[in-house]
Amino acid sequence: MSQDDKPISYFDNRLQKEAVKLLPGQYYATSNDKALVTILGSCVAACVYDEEKKIGGMNHFMLPDIHLTSESEHCLATKYGVHAMDTLIQKLVSKGAR
C-alpha cells in the first residue's frame, strides 16, 4: 500500500470515537480503541479480532484472487481476497495477535 493509499483517520461524531475508513484495496490493524468502517457494494470486508490481546483489523477487497504477472501489479494485490487476507493476518500477527 502506498503512502497515498492509507485509510482515512477521523473522529466519528456518531460513534464518539476515533475511526478509520477503509476503501477497496485497503486494510488496517490496530491495538487502539478505534472504529473500523467501510461501505460495501459488491465488495467484501473481513474483520478479525484477537479478544485476548485486544488487537483487530479489517480489510476491504473486490475479487477472490489474482495472479500477479508484474511488480507493478503487486500494489493492487490487496484488492483481491487471497492477498488481502494474508496481508491483514500478517499485520495482526506483527502487532502481537495470535
Domains of the chain: 3-94 (3.30.1330.200)
- State pTM to two decimals: 0.79
Cβ proximity of 33 and 39 under 8 Å: no
Report how far residue 79's alpha carbon sits from residue 96's, in angstroms, rounded to the nearest whole number: 24
Mean pLDDT of 89-95: 96
Contacts of 96 (CB under 8 A, 6+ apart): 31, 53, 55
Cβ proximity of 82 and 19 under 8 Å: no
Tens-digit pLDDT profile for residues 1-20: 443 578 999 999 999 999 99
